[in-house]
Amino acid sequence: AGERLPGVALLGAALIVAGVIVSEMKRRSASDGQSIVDEEENEQAVRKAE
């Protein structure tokens, strides 16, 4: 009890939450799920490159 998180940990947590929110906003703004298809194509291209 009484333990406190360092400022760097709180900053990191805030950046993670902001990243998730931005990611979700990008997915929802895409029309007809176009960004999801693009993500799948990018993943397949990365697998082929490996």
Q: What percent of the chain has pLDDT over 90?
A: 28
pTM (predicted TM-score): 0.48
pLDDT tens track for 5-17: 888 889 999 999 9
Give the Cα separation of 25 and 15 in Å (integer).
15
Instruction: Return the minimum-mean-pLDDT range out of 15-19, 22-26, 27-31.
Output: 27-31
| Interaxial angle between packed helices 7-29 and 34-49, expressed in degrees from 0 to 180 and rounded to the nearest 10 | 110
Q: Which whole number is the average pLDDT over 13-26?
A: 93
| Structural domain boundaries in the chain | 7-49
Q: Provide the pLDDT confidence category of residue 43 given band limits of 50, 70 and 90.
A: confident
